[in-house]
Amino acid sequence: MKILRNYILREFTGPLLLCLGVLTFLMVLIGNLKRIAELVINKGVDLFSVIQIFIYLTPYIVTYTLPISILVAILLALGRLSGDNEVIAIRSSGINLFRLILPLLIIGLACSLGLASFNDRAASYAHFAYRKTLQEMGVKNPTAAFEEGVFIDSFKKYILFIYDVDQKKNRLNNIRIYEPQGEDKPTRTIVAKSGEFITIPGKNAIKLKLIDGSSDEPDPENPTNFYKLNFRTYFMDLDIAQMQDKVVDKKYKEMTIQELKKEAIKLKSEGISPAPIITKIHEKLALAFSCFVFMLLGSSLGIITRRREKSINIGIAVLIIVCYYPMYIGLAALAMEGHLPAGFALWLPNMIFGAVGGYLTYKLCAS
């Protein structure tokens, strides 16, 4: 049994390392090729600094490429064994198939636990270091402080949350603006479908034009109470001096789980829903445990399909990926906006695909 286990692990490890290396390199390169080209051509950044940027980007990309690599590798490894009738020979010798895939499931679980810690520490730190490196090079994006999906507290009195940022058109979509009134007082809220920035010449400030929304306005008779006022356009002046000093503050995807929990408690005490932060916490964990889910599903499919051809097995992996990740992204967006509990939404794809994998494994081992 030891010889058989080592044989299967060798068949799995080779494709895993190859797929992980190729996928990670391509995603880092393709996703950042334009920015890297601008650094080298327009900014005159040296090759060593470019390599440093690549290194800092890699851990964040690995959080996505490792689960995909595990799925592809297990389908290729067990698909070949099954296609060559080696699985039939193993079953004929009296070995239960569950004993065959158990070491792989243990590896999948170990990868999930390791990736959870990796996401929380290394990936968060590396992405923050990446942005700080760009800052030190003098590469500044004027809309960087207005990143979507992040609470922005860089302005006096106001806390902004923007669900979508179109930097090319300088346009914002689905905006929430909060104005805490102090302890034991309700937080004033402004909601708008869209908005845009208008520069104010000669001043260290910008004007924010909000379109189609509603605002909480103080009741003249009782200023501690608010009433809803609908508007077509609404203008706000924002002082950007404080914002410029906080460009390199940590974004939520760069915080550890403990830091996110503290931030959630702080926002909740100010009467602001911490749903986006809770979503980020579950994202770190749910993405990590997709390693085990893909291992469970891929190990059973690799044996059942009995396809030796690599193209067929890669096609099955692609089909699973295009079903899993759009579902995951859509549910994450609903959790971000508070329409679904984050603990349910982010883990639902894992539960569905894990249940399918568990059922197929049970049928396979019981037959």
Q: What is the pLDDT of residue 305?
A: 74
- Report the Cα 186 to chain-centroid distance in Å: 32
Distance CA 73, CA 359 (A): 21
> For 309-327, what is the mean pLDDT?
88
Of residues 263 and 199, which shows the higher confidence score?
263
- What pLDDT is recorded for position 325? 95
pLDDT in tens, 172-190: 899 999 888 777 777 889 9
Q: For residue 12, give the amino acid letter.
A: F
- Closest to 148 (Cα-Cα) out of 132, 167, 126: 167
Percent of the chain with pLDDT over 90: 34
Residue 34: closest CA among 46, 23, 42: 42
Report the distance separating Cα 67 and Cα 51, nearest Å.
25
pLDDT value of position 206: 74
Tell me, what's the pLDDT at 45? 64
Separation between Cα atoms, residue 209 and residue 156, nearest integer Å: 17
Mean pLDDT, residues 155-168 taken together: 79
Q: What is the pLDDT of residue 129?
A: 86
Banded pLDDT at 5 (limits 50, 70, 90): confident
Q: Is the CB of residue 181 less than 8 Å from the CB of residue 175?
A: no
Decide which of 112 and 29 is more confident: 112
* 210-259 residue pLDDT tens: 999 999 887 767 767 788 889 999 988 877 655 545 445 677 888 899 99
CA separation, residue 166 to residues 89, 137, 162 (Å): 58, 24, 11
- Cα separation values, 178 from 105, 108, 170, 172, Å: 46, 43, 21, 16
User: In the chain, what is the straight-line distance between the N-terminal and C-terminal CA atoms, in Å?
Assistant: 21
What value does the mean pLDDT take over residues 282-304?
92
pLDDT beyond 50 at 56: yes
The structure's pTM equals: 0.72
Rounded to whole angstroms, the Cα distance separating 172 from 226 reads 26
Confidence check: pLDDT of 140 > 50: no
Cβ-based neighbours of 326, under 8 Å, separated by 6 or more: none
C-alpha 83/C-alpha 309 separation (Å) is 8
% the chain with pLDDT above 70: 81
Per-residue three-class SS string for 42-109 = CCCCCHHHHHHHHHHHHHHHHHHHHHHHHHHHHHHHHHHHHHCCHHHHHHHCCCCHHHHHHHHHHHHH
At residue 2 the predicted structure's pLDDT band, cuts being 50, 70 and 90, is confident
Average pLDDT of the segment spanning 357-364: 89
Backbone phi and psi for residue 32, each to the nearest 5 degrees, phi listed first: -130, 15
Mean pLDDT for 128-154 is 65
Query: Cβ(61)–Cβ(24) under 8 Å?
Result: yes
Q: Minimum mean pLDDT among 196-205, 326-335, 358-367: which range?
A: 196-205
What the block records as the tokens of 225 is 């109470």
How far apart are alpha carbons 226 and 323 in whole angstroms?
45
Least confident of 28-42, 198-212, 226-240: 28-42
Tokens (6 digits) for 260: 């996110």
* Sequence-distant (≥ 6) Cβ neighbours of residue 140 within 8 angstroms: 134, 247
Kindly state the average pLDDT of the residues 17-38.
82
Q: Using alpha carbons only, what angle is made at residue 362 by residues 360 and 364, rounded to the nearest 5 degrees?
A: 65
> Which range has the top average pLDDT, 83-92, 251-260, 307-316, 340-349?
340-349
CA distance 193 to 345: 24
Task: Answer with the residue of higher pLDDT: 228 or 346.
Answer: 346
Q: Which helix (H) or strand (E) holds 13?
A: helix 2-41
Residue type, 23: L
pLDDT given for residue 149 in this prediction: 77
What pLDDT was estimated at residue 187? Answer: 83
Q: pLDDT confidence of 194, banded at 50, 70, 90?
A: very high
What pLDDT does 223 receive?
66
142 pLDDT band (50/70/90 cuts)?
very low
Which residues on adjacent β-strands are paired with residue 209? 196, 235
